[in-house]
């Protein structure tokens, strides 16, 4: 029996419904692989599986972290490995489901031994990037660590900040830590440690749709969410809460705050929010398509979920 499977894909592609049916067919327990769905108090805003879906299939690493807590790929890896091992001890299949490619890579390949976050330093770096723009600080990174800079896009402010933070904390370029984690050889973009036994035989299935159809689903979801009182109530309850850096970046949160404060129109909120999510979906697909382990399944607009899952099972049987 398959022991560990990952089902990945961009936001709004339809992973949740497919994962529930796949879990039922396999007798699996679902382990979230989503950097936003871990947070409590954001079920509607982060589009967590519905309560009835979570009652039908056991879920782990969903709705489990306070939004005031910091959460990282390293912490996810430790919690996910523990969850996988517990599921396997019960004789069940572990089914990872989500769209956070970094978390999947951290789980399957490990992480280099970078220092823990220095939040005061990180805050100062973010303030500098907001003032000067990420490109200016990417140029600084290129002088400090040309190898890392060549692997990090100038607009990827989060990774620019982390690379600069590592250098200021340790006095070493981040690329040197990648080098040591790889066993002393230069290879792919980011250096990760050896795979764990629990995930070394993982089968990874990616789900996608034609671009126009995916974008239409994203646009429709945003329009539905801005009309959903559950979403708006969550945003209201989060006012005044000291959110962690990751939680504060939940898609739509700052747009909805501005909308509820009367600072921007409903139409403009929808337009900008939809654009942000479409760009995010494109980045997700770029990340996943760089992973040669992923077996892709294209979802059809009117195909029954059961038929999609049958195609997936046939594909996995061939791997």
- pLDDT per position as a tens digit, 264-319: 999 999 999 999 999 999 999 999 998 888 999 999 988 999 999 999 999 988 87
Residues 119-181, CATH architecture = Orthogonal Bundle (1.10)
CATH 3.40.50.1110 fits 1-111+192-319, yes or no: no
In angstroms, how far is the first alpha carbon of the chain from the final one?
13
| Strand runs labelled E in the chain | 4-8, 28-32, 59-60, 93-98, 203-208, 294-298
What are the percentages of helix, strand and coil residues in the chain, rounded to 5?
55, 10, 35
- Is it the case that residue 199 has pLDDT exceeding 80? no
pLDDT at residue 52 in the model: 97
Is the pLDDT higher at 96 or at 109?
96
Query: Any idea which of 118-132, 190-204, 207-221, 290-304 has the lowest mean pLDDT?
Result: 190-204
Q: Mean pLDDT for the chain?
A: 89
pLDDT at residue 184 in the model: 44
- pLDDT per position as a tens digit, 227-251: 999 999 999 999 989 999 889 999 9
Both structure tokens of 31: 């382990």
Beta bridge partners of 53: none
- Is it the case that residue 194 has pLDDT exceeding 80? no
Those residues whose C-beta lies under 8 Å from the C-beta of residue 77, and which sit 6 or more positions away, are: 103, 106, 107, 110, 111
Hey, do 1-111+192-319 and 119-181 end up sharing a CATH topology, with the first three levels equal?
A: no
- Report the SS3 class of residue 90: coil
Domain spans, the chain: 1-111+192-319, 119-181
- Is it the case that residue 191 has pLDDT exceeding 60? no
């Amino acid at each position: 029996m398959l022991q560990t499977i990952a089902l990945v894909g961009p936001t709004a592609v339809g992973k949740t419904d497919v994962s529930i049916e796949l879990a039922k067919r396999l007798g699996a327990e679902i382990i979230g692989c989503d950097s936003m769905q871990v947070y409590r108090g954001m079920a509607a805003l982060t589009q967590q599986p519905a309560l009835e879906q979570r009652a039908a299939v056991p879920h782990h690493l969903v709705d489990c972290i306070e939004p005031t807590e910091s959460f990282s790929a390293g912490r996810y890896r430790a919690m996910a490995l523990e969850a996988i091992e517990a599921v396997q001890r019960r004789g069940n299949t572990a089914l990872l489901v989500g769209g956070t490619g970094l978390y999947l890579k951290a789980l399957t390949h490990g992480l280099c031994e970078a220092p823990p976050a220095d939040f005061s330093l990180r805050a100062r770096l973010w303030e500098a990037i907001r003032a000067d723009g990420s490109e200016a600080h990417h140029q600084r990174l290129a002088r400090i660590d040309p190898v890392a800079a060549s692997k990090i896009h100038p607009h990827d402010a989060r990774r620019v900040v982390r690379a600069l933070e590592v250098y200021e904390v340790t006095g070493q370029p981040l690329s040197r830590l990648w080098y040591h984690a790889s066993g002393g050889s230069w290879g792919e973009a980011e250096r990760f440690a050896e795979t764990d036994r629990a995930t070394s035989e993982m089968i990874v299935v990616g789900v996608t749709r034609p671009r126009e159809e995916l974008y239409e689903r994203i646009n429709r979801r945003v329009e539905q969410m801005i009309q959903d009182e559950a979403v708006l109530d969550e945003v209201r309850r989060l006012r005044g809460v000291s959110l962690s850096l990751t939680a504060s970046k939940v898609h739509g949160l700052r747009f909805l705050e501005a909308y509820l404060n009367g600072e921007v129109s409903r139409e403009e909120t929808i337009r900008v929010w939809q654009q942000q999510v479409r760009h995010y979906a494109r980045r997700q697909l770029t990340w996943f398509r760089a992973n040669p382990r992923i077996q892709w399944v294209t979802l059809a607009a009117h195909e029954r979920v059961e038929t999609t899952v049958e195609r997936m099972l046939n594909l996995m049987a061939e791997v």
